[in-house]
Amino acid sequence: MSNFEDIDIEDTSGERLLFKLPKQGERLFKGTSEYYHFSHFGWGLKSQFYGYIKGYKSVSDAAVELAVTSKDIAKLDTYVFPIIFNYRQFLELSLKSLYLDYSDDEPKKRLETINKVSHNLIKIWNKVEPILLSTSNTVHHKELVSTVKSYVKEYHDMDEGSFNFRYPITKHLNPVFNKEERIDIVNLKQRMEELSNFFDGMDGALDDLKQQKAEWKEIQREMEAEWLAEARANMEREYE
């Protein structure tokens, strides 16, 4: 089996450049015995949801740092697309994870909701907002939730259908962006870190509430069982 020859050329500065070409018989996805060469996934729904969320955000964080520290305009003007797309994925999955984990809706209803909201950040936010507000009645918490909502809405307005930073053209072959724009990606990274901290805090608070509800239901079941047992005993005594 033959392979295409890699191309070795010299650029205008005299530097040797090696362009590697696809190799016959090679595969894109395969295992390895090198411990720090492989990535592992498929390790459970709850933990894997966390993996997706953390992965999308972490990749964008790293890309922002690399682009900014490089002081390379080519990187700043090209990394922006995966940066914004991946941050959006982080945001969408964070909201959907909170809804799926802590909504009181029946499983069938939750599935219908996820399918219905699709990639629409505002629609999924509207399902999550009451859940977030249930953790506290303080004015401070309500204001904080309102501020998070403004972040979510701004992202929604920038990229309503999770499309603008995946493709340069619309389905009708029109440019997605008709004019030049400038976005401070360092500021974006800082705001996304704030959102990440907020969602982590809410996940912890909601998990505590979920456990408290489960414990209270168990106490109620035990009390009902004791009441029924006592009622039966009283009835048996009456008929003795």
pLDDT of residue 83: 98
Q: How confident is the model at residue 74 (pLDDT cuts 50, 70, 90)?
A: very high
Residue 16 has pLDDT above 60, yes or no: yes
Nearest to 195 by CA among 120, 134, 121: 121
Instruction: Report the predicted TM-score, pTM, of the whole model to 2 decimal places.
Output: 0.83
Instruction: Give the pLDDT score at 240.
Output: 64
Is residue 3 predicted with pLDDT exceeding 70?
A: no
The mean pLDDT of 141-156, rounded to a whole number, is: 98
Give the phi and the psi of residue 175 in degrees, each rounded to 5: -60, 135
pLDDT confidence tier of residue 23, bands split at 50, 70 and 90? confident
The DSSP annotation for 77-135 comes to HHHHHHHHHHHHHHHHHHHHHHHHHH--S-HHHHHHHHHHHTT-HHHHHHHHHHHHHTT
pLDDT above 70 covers what percent of the chain?
88
Q: In this model, does residue 150 exceed pLDDT 80? A: yes
> Residue 192 in contact with residue 60, Cβ under 8 Å?
yes
- d(Cα 108, Cα 127) in Å, to the nearest integer? 15
Ranges of beta strands (E only) in the chain are: 7-10, 16-19
pLDDT digits 0-9 by tens, 181-239: 999 999 999 999 999 999 999 999 999 988 877 666 766 676 776 777 676 767 666 66
- Give Cα 115 to chain centroid, integer Å: 16
Long-range contacts of 23-28 (CB under 8 A, 24+ apart): 25/1
Distances (CA, A) of 61 to 58, 79, 95, 240: 5, 11, 19, 76
Question: CA 152 to CA 123: how far, in whole Å?
Answer: 11
* Among candidate residues 196, 185, 124, the one with its CA nearest the CA of residue 160: 124
44-56 per-position pLDDT tens digit: 666 678 999 999 9
Q: Residue 106: phi, psi to the nearest 5? A: -65, 155
